Amino acid sequence: MSELKEKLFLFISDFITINTAWTVYYIVRIQSGLFPYTIEASFVIPLVVMYFYWLIVFSVSGLYQYWFARSRFDEFSSVFKSVSVGCLILFFLIFIDDSFSNTKTGYRFVILIYWIFMILFVSSGRLIIRSFQRKMLEKGIGQKKSIIIGTGERAKELNRMINKFPQLGYKVIGFVSVNGDKKESFGGITELKSIIENNEITEVLIALEKDEKEMFFEVLRQCSGDRVNLKILPDTYEIVSGMARTNQLYGVPLIEVMPEIMPYPSRIMKRILDIFISAFMLIVLLPVLIVFAVLIKITSKGQIVYKQIRVGKNNKKFVMYKLRTMIENAEEYGPEWAGEKDPRITPVGRIIRKFYLDETLQFINVLKNEMSIVGPRPERPEFVEVLMKEFPYYYKRLSVKPGITGWAQIKHKYDSSLDDVREKLKYDFYYIENMSLRLDLKIMINTIIVILLMKGH
């Protein structure tokens, strides 16, 4: 089943089941006579409101993310968690509304009935779709063209497991050899890009032997830019430590390596939050920024606003704004990392850095859609060139918009060397592979704590 068809079926199923759940709940709550009420509630308006409410909840929860071949248990588990959270939010919204309107009711527990109906109907609809999808895959309908990287025993074992479980949805058309031997394969890894294009491959399954692990990053490089899904066997997990998400179906363990896990609706919501929070923060902090702008001007020579070229998403360069915290011409001998106790930092600049106030002008970059509030910190072009040579997989960090703060910033100390950057890359990869609004919120809360404790540099 294609991504478009799967999402279409899910939207249709949810439209029917969400509205059915509300209809049955309305009959039980209002028309059954089992529960007294003061004012008879409307049917149509709440029906429409509740549908769009659940559409937002399910989108943010990732229920419309493309999974291709997902187990029915995982589907039910996701629906259960999303509906439970959604109903909990509804309970508190109703409680707050009753408090402000001074409405007294002892029947808020009826939300439990609605919760039961939602889980029953929505999960049933989705399980029917997953069962239908499984039957089609078992018949070979909708399977995705796949290739296996490797020709050793592990590759052959993976191929046997896939052939045993056609419901996984993989149609292996051949192997790619590490050494380029064409006797048992299409060719070598250096030909991978053309093999993918010529055979319309959508799934690349990596099964390297222990002595072939160094070729993993070459596979990543060859697949960069292609719309293919990468999956590896567990033995190579340590190579991508902290940046992958495990998926296991029918006893076949696979680790997904995805460029961006956040579903489209969540990315839209992330952008809306970026705009709202950035505009709000710039307005609130304007008086503070003016005060420090004056202090910067009267205590040291140079411009108030420091502009610097940084590398953003897809290697696109942009001008990043900061309050100047260093002396004028601090980099007259070329770009270099700033140390934690860098002598080039001015006394006022040191105070500004303690509270991360120098970064606040980057809210302008967020409004310009060059950055996000949460994401990997953008590096300078000179450093990116060095890092690309030092770390072959660094390009993966450029697959998302950079951020003002990020997982690496709250988990690791101030970076002042390649070793620090190497360590931070693990955290950046973890964020990229696990992007979600919940993780963004966690990072923002931790960032606020860091600022309040004055742990900035």
pLDDT tens digits, 181-196: 777 778 888 888 888 8
The closest alpha carbon to 66, from 11, 122, 16, 119, belongs to: 11
Q: Rounded mean pLDDT of the chain? A: 81
pLDDT attached to residue 301: 85
Query: Which tops the pLDDT comparison, 295 or 411?
Result: 295
Query: Which tops the pLDDT comparison, 229 or 248?
Result: 229
Inter-CA distances, 85 with 88, 89, 283, 416, Å: 5, 6, 33, 42
Q: Is the pLDDT of residue 39 over 80?
A: no
pLDDT attached to residue 2: 65
Inter-CA distances, 10 with 2, 53, 252, Å: 12, 16, 25
Strands 403-405 and 372-374: parallel
The closest alpha carbon to 230, from 3, 238, 221, 13, belongs to: 221
Q: Is the pLDDT of residue 334 over 80?
A: no
Q: Is the pLDDT of residue 338 over 90?
A: no
pLDDT attached to residue 237: 46
pLDDT attached to residue 242: 46
pLDDT tens digits, 424-453: 888 888 888 788 888 899 999 988 888 887
Q: Is the pLDDT of residue 106 over 60?
A: no
pLDDT attached to residue 107: 54
Query: Mean pLDDT lowest for which of 104-108, 316-320, 400-404?
Result: 104-108
pLDDT attached to residue 341: 65
pLDDT tens digits, 301-332: 888 998 999 999 988 999 999 998 887 766 65
Domain ranges of the chain: 3-138, 144-257, 264-452
pLDDT attached to residue 104: 56
DSSP state of 30: I
pLDDT attached to residue 68: 58
pLDDT attached to residue 253: 66
Instruction: Say if pTM beats, i.e. exceeds, 0.85.
Output: no
Query: Which tops the pLDDT comparison, 225 or 218?
Result: 218
Q: Is the pLDDT of residue 365 over 90?
A: yes
Q: Is the pLDDT of residue 49 over 90?
A: yes
Query: Mean pLDDT lowest for which of 82-91, 99-108, 139-148, 208-217?
Result: 99-108
Query: Which tops the pLDDT comparison, 12 or 339?
Result: 12
Question: Highest mean pLDDT range out of 31-40, 136-145, 235-244, 369-378?
Answer: 369-378
Q: What is the CATH number that goes with domain 144-257?
A: 3.40.50.720
Q: Is the pLDDT of residue 203 over 80?
A: yes
Query: Which tops the pLDDT comparison, 424 or 284?
Result: 284
pLDDT attached to residue 210: 78
Q: Is the pLDDT of residue 239 over 50?
A: no
pLDDT attached to residue 289: 92
* SS3 assignment, position 303: coil
Q: Is the pLDDT of residue 240 over 50?
A: no
pLDDT attached to residue 127: 92
Residues of 356-386 as b/e, b for ≥16 C-beta within 10 angstroms?
bbbbbbbbbbbeeebbbbbbbbbbbeebbee
* SS3 assignment, position 419: helix
Q: Is the pLDDT of residue 26 over 80?
A: yes
Mean pLDDT of 252-257: 69
Cβ neighbours around 14 below 10 Å, total: 21
pLDDT above 90 covers what percent of the chain? 26
Question: Highest mean pLDDT range out of 22-31, 253-262, 277-286, 414-423?
Answer: 277-286
CA angle 312, 448, 271 (to 5 degrees): 40
